Amino acid sequence: MRYYIIAGERSGDLHGSNLVKSLKKLDADPAFRGFGGDYMKGVGVDLAVHYDAMAFMGFVTLIANWGTIRRMLKFCKEDIIKFKPDVVILIDYGGFNRRIARFIKPRGIKTFYYIPPKIWAWYQSRAKEIKATVDRLFVILPFEKEFYKKYDWEVDYVGNPVLDAIKDFQPDPNFLKMHNFSTGKPIVALLPGSRKMELKRMVPIMAEIVKKNPEFQYAVAAVDGPDASMYLPLKQLGQVKVIYDDTYNLLHVANAAIVTSGTATLETGLFSVPQVCVYKAGWLEFQIANALVKVPFISLINLIAGKEVIRELIQQKATVPGISNELMKLVNDEPYRNKILAEYKKIYQVLDSGSASENTAKLMLRYLKA
C-alpha cells in the first residue's frame, strides 16, 4: 500500500511515526510520504515538507501567515496527485487537513482521519463537513464517539496514543543525579508549551512564579529548536533547570506541575503529577475563542472527566498570586493532592484500551482491503 500522511505539528509527528511503525508490521510492502517531522522521518517516511514550515497557532498568526499556508496547500495537493497513494492519512492540524480532505474526495482517493480536530470544542457543525469528506474517522477520546453519533456517524474509538507513549516509557535512573536535583526538596515541573506564541506568553509568567516561591526546585520542559531563546527569562534564574526533549523523565520525578493547556495536561495527569492548568492568549484571540468555545473546560484532563479535576487559571485569572496559591496547595495539601490523584486513576482506566497505533493500523488495513 502507498500511504500519504499529513501531520502539521510535533505531537502529530510523534503519533504519525508510531502509526507508521504499526502499519509496517502488518503491510509487507508499504511506501510512505507526507508532511511531518523528525519522528516520521526516523521511521522511514519520505518527507515532502517538515512541519517547522507550517507550525502557526492562533487566529491572528494564521491570518498573518496565510500566504505561506496557501502555498503549502497548493504544493501538498500537487504532491499527493504525483505520489498516487492508496490512502491519505490526516493527523490533527484541522485547518490545513480539512482543506486537503475536500480536495481529495472528488478524486476517489481514500481518506482516513486519525486524531481529528477538536471541533466538539467549537465549530461543531464542521462534523457534517468532515463526515462528507472523510471515509473513516479514528478518534482518541471516549466522548468523541458519542459526539459524532449526534451526526449519525459511527466512528472508531482506538484508544489514546498518549497513554501508549507513557506505557512504553522507561525512566532514566540517573536523571536526578544528571541534572543535580537536591533530595528532599519538592520538584515543580514547568510545561509552557512548544509553540512560539505559547512560550512568549507563558515563560515570563512562570519566571515570576519561580521568584515568588523560591522554596521549590524548578525544571522547565523545553523543546530544542529555533525558539530556544524564548526560555531566557527562566534560564536567567539560577534555580531553574532547563531540560530539553525529556519531558517524561521530568514528570516521572515531579511533585507538582504548572502546565499550559493541551496534550501536556493529559500527559501530566497520566504521570500522576498534581497540576494547575495556566493559559493566556492575545486579547483578540481570546475574545474570538470565548465567543466560539462550546465546552466548559480547556484541559483534556477535565474534559475527559467531565468535571473539574484540576484548576484552570485562564486569561485574567492567570495571575502570579493565583498560580502561587494553587501551587502551594498542590505541593503541601495532602488531602487535596490525593483527591486529584484518585481522579487521575479513573481517567487512566477510561483510556486504557490497548495500543492506539496498533488498533488504528489494523482497522485501516481492514478498511483498505475491504
Q: Which residue type occupies 181? A: F
Regarding whether 95 and 84 lie in a shared domain, the answer is yes
If you average pLDDT over every residue of the chain, what do you get?
90
What average pLDDT does the segment 106-124 reach?
Answer: 89
Count H helices and E strands in the chain, helices first. 18, 13
Asked if 108 and 129 sit in the same domain, the reply is yes
Q: Which domain holds residue 130?
A: 2-159+353-369
Q: Domain of 72: which CATH number?
A: 3.40.50.2000
Q: Is a pLDDT exceeding 80 seen at residue 227?
A: no
Q: What is the pTM of this model?
A: 0.82
My answer on whether 196 and 149 are in the same domain is no
Q: Estimate the share of the chain in helix, then strand, then coil, as percent rounded to the nearest 5.
A: 55, 15, 30
pLDDT at 59: 43
**Residue 126 scores a pLDDT above 70:** yes
Contact status, residue 6 vs residue 76, Cβ threshold 8 Å:
yes
Shared-domain flag, residues 143 and 292: no
Q: Which pLDDT value is given to residue 110?
A: 97
Same domain, 227 and 253: yes
How far is 360 from 22, CA to CA, in rounded Å?
8
Same domain, 189 and 142: no
Q: Is the pLDDT of residue 68 over 80?
A: no
- Residues 347, 359: one domain? no
Tens-place pLDDT, residues 308-354: 999 999 988 999 999 999 999 999 999 999 999 999 999 999 999 89
Establish how many alpha carbons lie within 13 A of residue 205's alpha carbon, considering only the half-sphere containing its beta carbon.
29
The predicted structure's pLDDT at residue 290 = 58
- Residues 241 and 298 both lie in one domain: yes
Give yes or no for a contact between 258 and 327, defined as CB atoms under 8 angstroms apart: yes
Nearest to 22 by CA among 43, 53, 1: 43
Burial status of residue 280 (CB atoms within 10 A of its CB: 0-12, 13-18, 19 or more): buried
Q: Over range 23-37, report the average pLDDT.
A: 97
Residues 130 and 43 reside in one and the same domain: yes
| CA distances from residue 126 to 106, 152, 235, 255, 344 in whole angstroms, order as listed | 18, 14, 42, 40, 31
Q: How far is CA 122 from CA 96, 177, 185, 280, in A?
A: 16, 45, 42, 18
Cell numbers at 267, concatenated: 500527559
Q: Write out pLDDT tens, residues 283-317.
A: 556 555 555 555 678 899 999 999 999 999 998 89
- Residues 104 and 130: beta-carbon distance below 8 Å: no
- The mean pLDDT of 10-39, rounded to a whole number, is 95
The average pLDDT across 225-239 equals 84
Domains in the chain, number: 2
Residue 117, φ and ψ in degrees, nearest 5: -60, 155
pLDDT in the model for residue 197:
79
* In the chain, % of residues over pLDDT 70: 92
Q: Give pLDDT, residue 65.
A: 58
Residues 308 and 203 in one domain: yes
